[in-house]
Amino acid sequence: MTDQKITDLFIIGGGINGCGIARDAAGRGLSVSLAEMNDLASATSSAATKLFHGGLRYLEFFEFRLVQEALIEREVLLKAMPHISWPMRFVLPFHKDMRFDSETPTSRLLTKIMPWMKGRRPAWLIRLGLFLYDTLGKRGILPGTTKIDLTTSPLGQPIKDKFKTAFEYSDCWVEDARLVMMNARDAQARGAEIMTRTKVIGAERTDDHWIIRLEDTTTGETLERRAKLLVNAGGPWVADVLHQKLGQNSKENVRLVRGSHLVVPKLYDHDRCYFFQGTDGRIIFAIPYEEDFTLIGTTDADHTDPQTKPECTDEERDYLLAFASQYFEKPIAKDQVVWSYSGVRPLYDDGASSATAATREYVLSLDTKAAPLLNVFGGKITTYRKLAEAALVKIGAALPGVSGAWTAGVALPGGDFPVEDVKVLQDKLAMDYPFLDPYATRRMIRAYGTEAWEVLGDATQAEDLGQAFGATLTARELDWAIAREWVRSGEDFLWRRTKLGLRLDESERSAVETYIKEKVALPNS
């Protein structure tokens, strides 16, 4: 099928960068089409550590601009999506005799000035980094750093006795895959065309527009779209799209870095996260997850082929377990792992000597030799909105007349309430739907915010919500996700729109899959 209309932008990639750019562009009045070959956020954007953070360790690589932008952006994003993001406090245990095999610019400088400091991050250096972290971010909501005596604080109970002192600082949590979906929904509401399971199979470049050939991967139907400007936000496939699908000669490339995570039953009862430093110079987090679990991650390993699905290897699993067990009083065994996931970060290839040292800065490359092409390299979820703004500056240079930035402070769907009112909304939902149990009430507000009332509709009793699948999931919620959130499979819903896959058994997950397939009339496969 051919659509002869020429839109302003065609975006390849339904991750956070593609959907963020689509939302920003549509809100400025540009006509936008976006194609994602799988489900929204099906790759990198659903496989992160799920933090809005400045990146404390990036200070060791002197990435001050990136850190400052991310720190400032935390509170902008908190206000726009208070249902799917919230502040967290991070506890960084310190031990004066710990040594690290670290090759950061900071460690090399320290070793040169003070050779006896080789392999150490002294307390004053950590405190200096946290001071910069507090001051660069211009905090309004998030509290600053404090020092903790782990021998008397409950925060020290899960940690080995040798750790006497810790520093506590602020960062934020985000439901990453829901963030992507909500950007896509807002883009669609502003006029963008969002096509999932639609693969770009080729594109022809003319002097004034692109002709993009597509395949609907569900039906096999071929499609065509035309656009004045093409945005390549392919994430791990950005280089493949650039060279293979678009046939462009370019020396720019990405470095694929795999990050793996483990989920185990919760290891402690408080709501703080732990920031652990490893003897290899790396860091990992242990984070309260989905109320009853702890998330441990992440690794940094080079990943050579974007076509190879990233999976947590046994080596990475054992590395994370051993790393965390250096700190927790009770060692964590591999049979405690209930789920693992892995994603590939498409970092701009700056020639760094290791995956850990590779830059986290994003790079936007605009080619205007004929119809304009914007390639998006790198980026991190915390700065996706700023990346989109920067992309629109580039786009505005190629398509004159683009209006100014607008997304700062504008809520995403369901996020139109103050940050401090989450509990108020939960109480109101419980009052309006008294048949919901407390977990369901919390879960619905955290997933849907003010749209929870639209999801539940006119139900006056649990039976009105239709088939119950377990873990408070009902047919009415699945119907909403199918109609409004591009859900087409059990995996879409159970592991991206929610994490209810952790709470349902195999037969319950199968029932969800069957229900969705029948509802959308897709073949079981």
Residues 6+ apart with CB under 8 A from 20: 183, 384, 385, 387, 388
Q: pTM of this prediction?
A: 0.93
- Residue 125 shares a structural domain with residue 265: yes
Check which CATH number belongs to the domain holding 265 and give it: 3.30.9.10
Residue with token string 């683009």: 402
Are residue 141 and residue 280 in the same domain, yes or no? yes
Note whether 31 and 169 are same-domain residues.
no
Residues 146 and 260 in one domain: yes
Domain shared by 199 and 326, yes or no: no
User: Do 339 and 370 lie in a common domain?
Assistant: no
Instruction: Give yes or no: residues 98 and 161 share one domain.
Output: yes
Residue ranges of alpha helices (H) inside 86-137 are: 105-113, 123-136
162 and 273 part of one domain: yes
What CATH code is carried by the domain that includes residue 512? 1.10.8.870
Neighbours of 399 (CB within 10 A): 16
Question: The domain containing residue 229 runs over which residues?
Answer: 2-45+177-253+359-398
Domain-embedded: residue 295: yes
- Looking at the structure, tell me whether residues 213 and 279 fall in a common domain: no
Nearest CA to 12 out of 338, 376, 498, 323 is that of 376
Query: Do the Cβ atoms of 499 and 178 come closer than 8 Å?
Result: no
- Mark whether 516 and 425 lie in a shared domain: yes
For 430, the token pair is: 């419980």
Has residue 288 been placed in a domain? Answer: yes
Query: Per-residue confidence of the chain (525 residues) as pLDDT tens digits?
Result: 455 799 999 999 999 999 999 999 999 999 999 999 999 999 999 999 999 888 887 777 677 888 889 899 999 999 999 999 999 999 999 887 665 555 555 555 444 554 434 455 677 778 888 888 899 888 889 999 999 999 999 999 999 999 999 999 999 999 999 999 999 999 999 999 999 999 999 999 999 999 999 999 999 999 999 999 999 999 999 999 999 999 888 777 888 999 999 999 999 999 999 999 888 878 899 999 999 999 999 998 889 888 899 999 999 999 999 999 999 999 999 999 999 999 999 888 766 655 555 666 789 999 999 999 999 999 889 999 999 999 999 999 999 999 999 999 899 999 999 999 999 999 999 999 999 999 999 999 999 999 999 999 999 999 999 999 999 999 999 999 999 999 999 999 999 999 999 999 999 999 999 999 999 975 544
Q: What angle is formed at CA 419 by the lines to CA 166 and CA 361, rounded to 5 degrees?
A: 65
- How many domains does the chain contain in total? 3
Write the CB contacts of 519 (distance below 8 Å, at least 6 apart in sequence): 478, 479, 482
126 and 183 share one domain: no
Q: Whole-angstrom Cα distance, residue 429 to residue 431?
A: 5
Would you mind telling me the total number of residues written for the chain in this entry?
525
Q: What are phi and psi of 145, to 5 degrees?
A: -75, 140
Residue 491 covered by a domain: yes
Residue 71: inside a domain: no
In a domain, 62, yes or no: no
- Is there a domain that residue 195 lies in? yes
Q: Assess whether 455 and 486 both reside in one domain.
A: yes
The owner of tokens 């402070």 is: 409
